[in-house]
Amino acid sequence: MDRIGRTLPRFLRASLGADLPFRLVLLWRHWDEIVGEEVASLGRPLGRRKTTLRIGVEDVMAMQELTFHAPDILDAVHGFLEEPVFDTVQGELLGDRHGVDAERLTIPVREKPVKPARIGSLSGKFVDNPTIAEAYRKYVEFFKEQESGKQNRNSEEDT
């Protein structure tokens, strides 16, 4: 049985001709292996603009060096993509930008709130302030729903 990662691009290419974005993501992720260490050390891929491959470089010396490697870069990229997608390579100063091959940060998972031992014992204390009474009622309700296994509208499982 084929994995979806192999089957989907074939289907999209054969049926719709629409698998290029998926192949570009693979290109960005495997940039170093595809273009080689020497070229990869010069710059990071920034993406594309129509038929131009945009590569971010640290300084003008790297940009000059990149122009000499442009034909080799195009050959390697077209070989990987199995079709000529780009006709030019454009070097751009990175500045504070990051290449599209940069590692993405993982978002930490928030821990579920711990239920207080005496929750609900203050229900009658907020008679004079209906806003606080309603907020406290919802607070107590949140923990009751969490205890019963029922998802509430603010739970992380919904996101």
All domains of the chain, ordered by start, with CATH?
A: 4-93 (3.30.300), 110-153 (no CATH)
What pLDDT score does 146 carry?
A: 83
Report d(CA 36, CA 30) in Å as an integer. Answer: 10
Nearest Cα neighbor of 44 from 57, 53, 34, 27 is: 57
Report d(CA 134, CA 51) in Å as an integer. Answer: 58
Helix or strand holding residue 45 (H, E): strand 43-49
Query: Structure pTM?
Result: 0.56
pLDDT, tens digit, 9 for 90 and up, residues 3-58: 776 676 666 666 655 678 888 988 999 999 999 999 999 999 999 999 999 999 99
Identify the DSSP state of 105. P
Report d(CA 23, CA 79) in Å as an integer. Answer: 12
Identify the DSSP state of 18. -
User: Residues for the chain: how many in total?
Assistant: 159
Give first-to-last CA distance, the chain, whole Å: 32
